[in-house]
Amino acid sequence: MLVGGRLVNAADGRTFENVNPATEQVLGATADAGAGDMDAAIAAARSAFDDTGWSTDLDLRVRCLRQLHEGLGRHLEELRDLTVAEVGVPVSMTKGPHLDAAVANMPWVIDLAGRYEWERDHGEQATPYGRSHRYVAREAVGVVAAITPWNVPTQINLAKVVPALAAGNTVILKPAPDTPWSATALGRIVAQETDIPAGVFNVVPTSDNSVAQRLAEDPRVDLVSFTGSTATGRRLMAAAAGTVKKVFLELGGKSANIVFDDADLAGIIPGALAIIWNSGQGCAITTRLLVQRGLYDEAVDRISQALSGVKCGDPTSPGTMMGPLISELQRSRVLGLIDKGGEEGAKLVTGGGRPWTRAGMSNPRSSPTSTPTPRSRSRRSSGPSWP
């Protein structure tokens, strides 16, 4: 992890395994931060904000963020391999928001910081109490804790971190334990290929939610930005209330397509196939299709035919349209929801089981009530050695 400008292991040497969701093999180990490690990262970020010129030196920020953008560009193909291995996303989708678009959007934010109206002089104005001179200065919040999910990790990491740094904040990035390397790779590039001062950016992966919660509880942290589940968001908001810190939450989300009888189904169904993007793991994906009765039967037939043509399989294959869910836990949950739907009277039209498995394995219907294979069981390593 990156703490105070240094790439370090956890103080107690603990690690957790990073598992490839497509093969269920272990990619490697990640430093597993404890309470002391998180405290060190918070102290480093606080000191960097209070005692360095990062928050006031716009030219330094712009120069360093351009270095980061260039560094990401140099490692783009390594990051692509890492993303496919860690997330299970088809390689074709890394050409968009998962990687290429996320990196390509950085110059827009950096350029905006360079021309942003940080200060505005409104001049003198008359008031009932006499004349006053009004002046607005926009300043950084302070220490920002960025807690990110596993579904589109690089895009969300950059979407939180780059604007926060551009505004003059210092940042502690806490990635999801399912996808830690997207964050540790970012930390390595910052440490080795930019002039970002020590402590301005820290990456602290941990498998312990109580360690992550310290970001919301610690008075040295000024803002918590979290993307994830509603339940976790509630806990973070409650934890942050004690210090009355700013909290930015993006929680849950299940968008719907609403189709009325006068709609053109031929034009709607392709958009409804957004459900296959990232295996449906995204808050902005239209995961529901609500159809008025007059078009219902035709819509079911069309969407069934369209989904039957989706190629599921090895995410490293260019022709794959849909890869695995992120973990055994999520797969069991989804299969359980399918079973529950059947029990409540829903009709299964297509799919309903595991469409593919690891090479050399049979393809039985995986029961959600079966005992999941622990993520740490396999000791074989398969995938990129970087970062």
| CATH number for position 299 | 3.40.309.10
Return the sign of the alpha-carbon dihedral for residues 352, 357, 361, 366. negative
Other CB atoms closer than 10 Å to residue 345's CB: what's the count? 6
Strands 170-174 and 143-147: parallel
Is residue 165 in a domain?
yes
Asked if 178 and 160 sit in the same domain, the reply is: yes
Cα separation, 159 vs 109, in Å, equals 10
Tokens of 325: 């869910």
| Nearby residues of 108 by Cβ (< 8 Å), 6 or more positions away | none
pLDDT for residue 383: 42
Q: Choose the catalytic residue: 78, 193, 217, 283.
A: 283
* In contact, 16 and 177? CB cutoff 8 Å: yes
**Of 301, 328, 355, at which residue does a domain stop?**
328
Q: Quick one: 39 and 152 in the same domain?
A: yes
Please identify, among 251, 275, 291, the residue that sits at the C-terminal boundary of a domain: 251
The predicted structure's pLDDT at residue 356:
64
Q: Based on the domain organization, do 49 and 95 belong to the same domain?
A: yes
H-type helices in 7-75, by residue range? 35-51, 58-74
Q: Are 173 and 322 within one domain?
A: no
Question: pLDDT per position in the chain (387 positions), as tens?
Answer: 999 999 999 999 999 999 999 999 999 999 999 999 999 999 999 999 999 999 999 999 999 999 999 999 999 999 999 999 999 999 998 999 899 999 999 999 999 999 999 999 999 998 888 899 999 999 999 999 999 999 999 999 999 999 999 999 999 999 999 999 999 999 999 999 999 999 999 999 999 999 999 999 999 999 999 999 899 999 999 999 999 999 999 987 778 889 999 998 888 888 778 787 777 778 778 888 899 999 999 999 988 888 888 888 889 989 888 888 888 888 888 889 889 999 999 998 888 888 765 443 334 333 333 323 333 333 333 444 444
From the candidates 17, 250, 343, 344, give the one annotated as an active-site residue. Answer: 250
Would you state the structure tokens that stand for residue 311, as one six-digit string? 């190629």
Q: How far is CA 327 from CA 20, 24, 306, 372, in A?
A: 9, 8, 26, 10
Tell me which of 251, 268, 283 is where a domain ends. Answer: 251
In the residue annotation, 250 being an active-site residue is answered as yes
Question: What gap in Å lies between CA 73 and CA 387, rounded to an integer?
Answer: 15
Residue type (1 letter), 69: H
Other C-beta atoms within 10 Å of 315: how many? 26
**Residue 283 annotated as catalytic:** yes
DSSP state letters, 265-280:
HHHHHHHHGGGGGGGG
Cα gap 352→333, rounded to integer Å: 13
DSSP assignment string, 92-148: GGGGTTTTHHHHHTHHHHHHHHHH---EEEEEEEEETTEEEEEEEE----SEEEEE-
Write the DSSP symbol of residue 86: H
**Token couple for 182:** 């997207």
- Do 26 and 107 belong together in one domain? yes
Whether 294 and 309 map to the same domain: the answer is yes
318 in the same domain as 263: yes
- The pTM of the full predicted model, rounded to 2 decimals, is 0.87
> Residue 356 to residues 64, 122, 229, 278: CA-CA distances in angstroms?
44, 64, 28, 16
**CA–CA distance, 187 with 173 (Å, rounded to integer):** 9
Does some domain include residue 361? Answer: no
The C-alpha angle with vertex 189 and arms to 18 and 178, in degrees rounded to 5, equals: 20
CA atoms within 13 A on the CB side of 61: 28
Residue 262 lies in a domain: yes
Tell me the three state secondary structure of residue 54.
coil
Question: What is the residue range of 268's domain?
Answer: 255-328
Residue 385 lies in a domain: no
